[in-house]
Amino acid sequence: MTDREKVTTLADAASLIPDSATIGIGGNSQSRKPMALIRELVRQGRTDLTIVTFLGGIDIELLLAGGCVKQVRAALVSLDLIGLAPIYASIDPAKCVTETEATLVYGMRASAAGLSFLPSLGILHTDIPKLRPDLRLVTSPYSGQEVIAMPAVRIDFALIHTSWATPLGTAGTDGAPVLDRLMSEAANQTIVTAEHILPNEVPLGDVLVRRSRTSAVVEAKYGAHPTGCFPDYRQDIAFLADYAACAKDRGADAALTLFADSPSYEETRIDVERILVHS
């Protein structure tokens, strides 16, 4: 921890993340996916990443299309209204670890608190443990009841996109916080990308990332596209529909071209009028 400001470039921020790292991705399937940073990881050819996210979507698709992924741990991966996530739906199931919100929340809480597990009643009488042979039971020393020991979810880098951040790395939103704060606290480091870099330390809204967790801050306008970023812009459903059709009909490599810089993703791929919300 130094006292210099943490603002850097997408390229430098992405290069903090080595091959084989475990990355946590914030937001949900509709919003605040750190897509600019993910495009940069693909561009840099990162491989063998383990991805932890709550509700995955186009973030997972792009990382899979780019050949960056060893394992996906998510509670759900879909393109929402557009339907199944085509690349994810076709990968080897052995690459996918089934999570639910409870397994992720307890797992990240355990990690943040330095524990190897937390007990939970969640998913106890479901078939989900059949998909998770790694789960163990633990017996309460008080009641004798057996409950599931949710294993700690370790994350090297949390990747969080927000509407605003400060140069020292405080980041927040006035929209849905999802699980981002917990993810940032559970991760060893957090990389923040934000639509707007604000002056340091003004009193602000809901804090998702405390500055002490943050290693790098990158200004990334439309950095969540094609997901939305409240209040700046909404999810780009037409782009996602194009993506789904392209990935299904012409495969991952063709779909990747939709995310290419030619010369600039922001200028050539984003129809701003389509995603602005007029109230």
Partner 1 sequence: MSHTAVASSAEVIATCISREIHDIDVVGLGLGTFIPAAGAMLAQKTHAPKVDFFMSSAGAYVHDLPMLTLTLSEWAAQGRVIDRPKLSEVFSQEVHATHVEFFRPAQLDAFGRFNTSLIGRLDAPNLRLPGAAGIPDVTATLSRLFYYLPRHDNRTLVENVDFVTGGPTDIGGRPPTSLHAGSRAFRLITDLGVFGFGDSGRMEVVSLHGDVTRDEVMQRTG
Q: Which residues bind a second copy (CB under 8 A)?
A: 113-121, 136-138, 140-143, 145, 147, 149, 151-152
DSSP string, 98-164: E--HHHHHHHHHHHHTT-SEEEE-TTTTSSGGGG-TT-EEEE-TTT--EEEEEEP---SEEEEEEEE
Distance between CA 124 and CA 148 in Å, rounded?
A: 7
Nearer to a second copy, 131 or 135 (CB): 135
Q: 3-class SS at 43?
A: helix
Q: Which does 234 bind (CB under 5 to 8 A by kind): partner 1, a second copy, none?
A: partner 1
Distance between CA 129 and CA 135 in Å, rounded?
A: 7
Radius of gyration for the chain, computed over Cα atoms and rounded to the nearest angstrom? 19
Q: Which does 130 bind (CB under 5 to 8 A by kind): a second copy, partner 1, none?
A: partner 1
Nearer to partner 1, 19 or 174 (CB): 174
Nearer to a second copy, 67 or 119 (CB): 119
Phi, psi of 199 (to 5 degrees): -60, 155
Nearer to a second copy, 27 or 151 (CB): 151
Nearer to partner 1, 89 or 246 (CB): 89
Shortest Å, Cβ 45 to partner 1: 28
Shortest Å, Cβ 176 to a second copy: 16
Nearer to partner 1, 134 or 262 (CB): 134
Distance between CA 86 and CA 195 in Å, rounded?
A: 29
Instruction: Strand 117-120: give its sheet, edge to edge.
Output: 117-120, 146-151, 136-139
Q: Which does 185 bind (CB under 5 to 8 A by kind): partner 1, a second copy, none?
A: partner 1
Q: Which does 230 bind (CB under 5 to 8 A by kind): a second copy, partner 1, none?
A: partner 1
- Bridge partners, residue 78, by sequence: 84
Shortest Å, Cβ 112 to a second copy: 12
Q: 3-class SS at 11?
A: helix
Alpha carbon 171 to chain centroid, angstroms: 15
Shortest Å, Cβ 180 to a second copy: 19
Shortest Å, Cβ 1 to partner 1: 6
Shortest Å, Cβ 102 to partner 1: 4
